[in-house]
Structure 1
Amino acid sequence: MPLLRRAPLAALGAALLVAACLGAPVAGADEQAPGGCVQPGPTLRYLVVFDKGTTEPDADAQIAAACGTATVYYAQIAVAVATSPDPGFGDKIGPDRAYSAQGETWTSNGRATRKKADETGAAASTSTESVPTTDRSGEQWDMRMIDAAQAHQITEGDPRVVVGVLDSGIDPRHPDLKPALDPQLSVGCLSGKPDPSVAAWAPTTSPHGTHVAGIIAAADDGKGVTGVAPGVRIASVKVVDDDGYIYPEYAVCGFMWAATHGFTVTNNSYYVDPWEYTCANQPGQRVVTEAMKRAVDYATAQGVLTVAAVTNSAADLTQPGTDTHSPDNAPNRTVRSVGSDCSVLPAQEHNVVAVSSVGARQVKASYSSYGLGAVDVTAPGGDSRQQPSNGDNACVLSTVPGGYGTFCGASMAAPHVTGVAALLASTHPGDTPAQLTKLLNQQAKPVQCPSDYDLNDTGVQDAYCSGYASYNGFYGHGMVNALAAVASGTAPQTPVADAPVSNGSTPTDSGSSATTSSRTKPQPVGPEQLAAGQ
């Protein structure tokens, strides 16, 4: 997925960044264009923050004066995306106003030093034309955990509710997604500027977005799988490039598209690059922090509820830690507590519903990050250490291009919450994001902290859960429940104790499907770089 990663990062090898993004050298390193603009290349993309109220002509003029070219200007939040081959662009326009996340991943030999990997799992290898029609809903232990089928007896969602899937693209031909997918509201954001062409928002290298979309809204047609809210509409908002990166300008574009096109909810199963933790006290990164805050706040003001997954780093987001995902092998940085200078974006933004992940035994997934005050609710994301009692796959089954596949990750947990939020929006039309968030918290089924969280039976706790039964660092307000969400007036249920955790050896975090071999690799945060059929 575009989202979540767990240390250690898989060694995926170097990969060229797409030429369309980086461009080619324009002139020799010592050559200057008129006005003193140096143009040695490569052409990098920048996020630029202006004073609120700055007009588009003024913003364009300032960018041009600093040797750049404006790609798009979001006047509502005074944030622009610009490109420049001049390495001094950031200094010229102001280091506290411009930042190139893309530049953090660019080295002297012209190659990216890393790529994101996705949640572990396996994708189907069948072609789109031959998607199996077998009913596989019986394998969806995750939907049983949140009482989705019972909720569907009341409502499957209102088609006036639009859910934006900010991810790697949604397969427009998949029969389980065709009824819900709205091509007119879909868009690609890989330049930072909206591109509504199908080629811009359809998936290319990653099945992640299609998998997430199926969890939210796969059709209830007796074939394949069924989503949490099959009656709502979904839109593909592509914010993950072919190298697996989610640069902040992609996300800003996605939020602004959702805000200006009447979306109700967005699902965000990712964190923005190039750092897992973006620090507002670091040069440049404060630009990302400010731009993301403005974009999320604007979307919220326009009636869009934002749901995001916490990372797959198994980190306590309220405690000091180490950022192990720094680009270019940069020195590790201390990660401060929630609400201070460093945070995971967008999950730790204000006005965002942050989601942790549990396995089939309703215990925090081994990879899921956590923290009291950092998690709002929890949902099933799968975990190979927690095998379902009936023998089903421990990961989450959903749609992938050409068929069906299983993945484990917080990326899978978030769309369950997004689906429940869509059902709430269907039964509470006109509610604001704040009101929907309150309802999400109220309908959640509290889950107590486990008395023993020793996953490997070593006598050492793998993580510490703080808080109390109705609100704690592992599960927030508790497990979302689709039936409680659509049953008007349903009160929070009595807290339940955790089921025992299956102890075992170091996990493989692998998934499987009937049509492809399982894959094994560490669980990080980012889109799967496995195309269906590989």
Structure 2
Amino acid sequence: MQKKQFTPKFLSCLGLGLLFTFGCSKEDLTPNESLNQRSANSAIDASVSTSVVREGNQYIIISATDALPADIEGKTKGANGKVTKLLSGVGIATATSDDPNFIAKASKISGVRSVIHDFTYQGYDPQEQNVEAANTNPPTSADNDPVFPIQWGHTAIQAPEAWLTGARGQNVRVAVLDGGFYLGHPDLVDNIEKSISFVPGQPAQFNRELARNRSTFSHGSHVAGTVAAVDNTNGGVGVAPKAKLVLVKVLGDAGSGAFSWIIAGIKYAADEQVDVINMSLGAQLPRNGKYMDNNGTPSDPSDDFLVKDSEVQKEVAELVEAINKVTTYAARKGVTLIAAAGNDGIDAKDQNATFVPADSKHVISISATAPYGLALNPNTNLDQVAPYSNYGSPAIDLAAPGGSAAHPSATSVFYKIGSAPVYAWDMVYSSGSPTGYNWAQGTSMASPHAAGVAALIISKNGGPMAPERVEAIMRASADDLGIPGRDDNYGHGRVNALRAVTSGSFAQAK
């Protein structure tokens, strides 16, 4: 018997967990719920954010242009602050200060558009259970990786057929912005080109001792494996198995992180001249609401939140602007940016909140699809809307396989390679353990499927492509599901790798 790792509660994408509640943990599902039903928990209060925290002495300085003011370090010091990072070309710097009047002082620096507090959020809470799966020989398939037969997402998007055209991700570099990674994982190590961490005090390598519940599950490794796990007769295979990975840690191993780390990670990846950035992370930021302060002390006994609407509204708007600045910078550098849409099961076009980075400029937002009872009916529809997935046009651009644990049956059944609960087989299987694999569900799992398709397109093109052209091909080649044309659930459709690489509409190299 070979032990497999299973995480039935792990719905969140990294960072998408910070969207106030999840409607699709196994415990929240009713026995008769189907994938076509939205969760009863989808009606959430967008006026309160309990997971996004304003940091008291950490700041983001935003320039009025893409250039930082001259001698910004000296001028910041004169305002009783210390610059911690300069993002040249984006017009952003980060700083620390213990002066409560730092914002007022630093805002007077000539050329500065705004100075705001940095914000942090709890992205996910790693949690896992074990499921025993029989170690059996897989049936004949188009690939000889042992768990390839249960990678239904590849089947849904016709990835194996795309590989037969010669497009396997060669000469393409994909940056994965996420939590920590198992850098020595046998399905990843040969494709990892670089790794870096923007989390102070934490290397890129995932450290289970830093995870609050000591989970061995690495969200970043799981996502990276879906993009580009090596085709090596070990475990699974990525959508673009010959793409190279640049792994960028922007959230800590306990699942929390600062937006300044994400901004720095995007800037780094763009400067590294990657072709694609995958961001299986994000936050829902209420435009008008209350946020916790980093000391967690309420402003008065009758209120659970410290930072009032009048104080934070402008800061949130400027935070969105800062993220837009760096995603625009990356797009100008020729990077295709892809992000998870979120796991709240709510209408993402809600004007009361902004979803970042999914709603950010030049970012392709991905919703999630899944089968329902695949192990009981191998011919079941693989493209049902996952109940947790955010939706709403024009917020959703495309859909991709994200998996779901919505099926009520926990009965262990044999399916192709082993035995596991019925609902487990509807989830996405990838390289989430030190040398092993995990099931997971979420738009975090959908986003890397789409990023892999983008890598296949660029690979088929034979060289770098303008991101707007990559997106145009992804849209035109997607399978139009649901209501004809662009719709709330699938956007322009569920990505199709084969149609994408055989469309005959590739752009000239940028």
Query: Superposition pairs for residues 330-349 of structure 1, below 5 Å?
Result: 335=352, 342-349=353-360
Q: 2:62–2:115: 8 Å Cα contact kept in structure 1?
A: yes
Query: Are 2:430 and 1:394 aligned?
Result: no
2:115 counterpart residue number: 98
Contact (CA 8 Å) 1:165, 1:209: kept in 2 or not? yes
The corresponding residue for 1:432 is: 466
Equivalent residue number for residue 326 of structure 2: 295
Residue 387 of structure 1, CA deviation: 8.4
DSSP 3-state at the match of 1:182: strand
Structure 2 contact 60–95 (Cα < 8 Å) conserved: yes
Instruction: Give the corresponding residue for 2:299.
Output: none
For 1:68, the equivalent position in structure 2 comes to: 81
The match for 2:480 among 446, 452, 472 is 446
User: Structure 1 158/398 Cα, relative in aligned 2: closer, same or farther at 3 Å?
Assistant: closer
Cα distance per residue 1:271-308 (max 9 Å; x no partner)? 14xx5446799121122111111100000000011000
Work out which of the residue numbers 463, 472, 491 in structure 2 matches 1:476.
Answer: 491
Return the structure number with greater strand share. 2
Partner of 2:46: none
Letter in 2 for 1:3: G
User: How far does residue 88 in structure 1 lie from its aligned partner after superposition?
Assistant: 2.3
- 3-state SS of the aligned residue for 2:406? coil
Residue 296 and residue 44 in structure 1: after superposition, are their counterparts in 2 closer, same or farther (change >3 A)? same
Select the residue among 212, 226, 232 that pairs with 2:237: 226
Tell me how far apart the structure 1 counterparts of residues 170 and 287 of structure 2 sit (CA, whole Å): 36
| Cα separation, 2, equivalents of 1:187 and 1:238 | 6
Report the CA distance shift for 1:158/1:364 in structure 2 as closer, same or farther (over 3 A).
Answer: closer
Match of 1:371 in 2: 392
| Residue 357 (structure 1) aligns with | 368
Match of 1:511 in 2: none
Quick one: which amino acid aligns to residue 188 of structure 1?
S
SS at match of 2:16: coil
Residue of structure 2 equivalent to 1:312: 343
- The 3 A distance-change label for structure 1 pair 257 and 387 is farther
SS at match of 1:356: strand
Which letter maps to 1:63? T
Contact 1:201 1:237 in 2 (8 A): yes
TM-score (normalised: structure 2)? 0.72
Structure 1 segment 483-494 matched on structure 2, within 5 A: 483-489=498-504
Q: Which moved more, 1:375-384 or 1:414-423?
A: 375-384
Distance change >3 Å, CA 482–CA 122, structure 1 → 2: farther
Please tell me the residue identity of whatever aligns with 2:341. Answer: V
Aligned to 1:419: 452
Contact 2:186 2:234 in 1 (8 A): no
Given the superposition, is the C-alpha separation of residues 157 and 134 from structure 1 closer, same or farther in structure 2, using an over 3 Å criterion? closer
Matched, 1:259 2:270: yes
With normalisation by structure 1, the TM-score equals 0.69
Segments of structure 1 that go 5 or more residues without pairing to the other structure are 12-16, 23-41, 106-114, 127-132, 321-334, 336-341, 450-468, 492-534
- Kept in 2, the 8 Å contact 1:387–1:393? The answer is no
Q: CA deviation at 1:9?
A: 6.1
Contact kept, 8 Å, 1:119 with 1:407, in 2: the verdict is no
Instruction: Quote the residue 2:203 is aligned against.
Output: 200
- Relative to structure 1, the CA distance from residue 255 to residue 224 in structure 2 (aligned partners, 3 Å threshold; closer, same or farther) is same
SS in structure 2 of the partner of residue 97 of structure 1: strand
Question: Which of 246, 249, 268 lines up with 1:238 in the alignment?
Answer: 249
- Distance in 1 (alpha carbons) for counterparts of 2:166 and 2:229: 15
* Residue 8 of structure 1: how far off its partner (Å): 2.8
Task: Tell me how far 1:43 sits from its aligned partner.
Answer: 7.4
Q: Is the counterpart of residue 166 in structure 1 residue 200 in structure 2?
A: no
Counterpart of 1:58 in structure 2 is: 71
Do 1:444 and 1:478's aligned partners in 2 also have CA atoms closer than 8 Å? yes
* Matched AA of 2:81: G
- Do 2:145 and 2:237's aligned partners in 1 also have CA atoms closer than 8 Å? no
Residue 120 of structure 1 contacts residue 409 of structure 1 at CA under 8 Å; is this kept in 2?
Answer: no
| CA-CA distance at 1:86 after TM superposition | 2.2
Cα distance in 1, alignment partners of residues 253 and 336 from structure 2:
27
Once residues 66 and 485 of structure 2 are traced to their aligned partners in structure 1, the CA distance between those partners, rounded to angstroms, is 43
Distance 1:490 1:383 in 2: 34
Question: Aligned partners of 1:124 and 1:217: how far apart in 2?
Answer: 25
Q: 1:180 to 1:156 in 2, by over 3 A?
A: farther
CA drift of 1:78 comes to 1.1
The farther-off stretch of 354-363 and 386-395 is 386-395
2:123 match: 116
Q: Deviation above 3 Å: which 4+ runs of structure 1? A: 53-57, 118-126, 275-281, 386-392
Alignment check: 8 A CA contact 2:180 2:252 kept: no
1:176 CA drift (Å): 0.4
Cα deviation, residue 256, structure 1: 0.6
SS of alignment partner, residue 173 of structure 1: coil
SS of residue matched to 1:257 = helix
Indicate which of 58, 61, 72 corresponds to 1:45. 58
Question: Which amino acid in the other structure matches residue 116 of structure 1?
Answer: G
CA contact (8 A) 1:167 1:269 kept: yes
Matches within 5 A, 1:120-139: 135-139=146-150
CA distance in 2, matches of 1:387, 1:479: 25
Aligned length: 399
Task: Provide closer, same or farther for how the CA distance between residues 387 and 137 of structure 1 changes in structure 2, counting only shifts above 3 A.
Answer: farther
Distance 1:154 1:124, change over 3 A: farther
Query: Aligned residue for 1:84?
Result: 97
Q: In 1, distance between residues paired with 2:265 and 2:199?
A: 10
What runs of 5+ residues in structure 2 fail to find an aligned partner? 1-12, 26-50, 134-143, 212-216, 290-311, 372-380, 416-421
1:383 aligns to what? 404
1:91 is paired with a residue of what secondary structure? helix
- Match of 2:464, as an amino acid? G
The aligned amino acid for 1:394 is: D
1:33-54 CA-to-partner distances (Å, cap 9, x unmatched) read xxxxxxxxx9732111122265
2:318 aligned counterpart, secondary structure: helix
Cα shift at 1:79 = 0.4
Is the contact made by 1:170 and 1:210 (CA closer than 8 Å) also made in structure 2? Answer: yes
Is the aligned partner of 1:282 residue 2:313?
yes
What percentage of aligned pairs have identical amino acids? 28
Task: Indicate yes or no: 2:260 matched with 1:249.
Answer: yes
Counterpart contact for 1:123–1:406, Cα < 8 Å: no
Give, in whole Å, the separation in 2 of the partners of 1:311 and 1:470: 22
Who is 1:504 aligned against?
A: none
Deviation at 1:125? 11
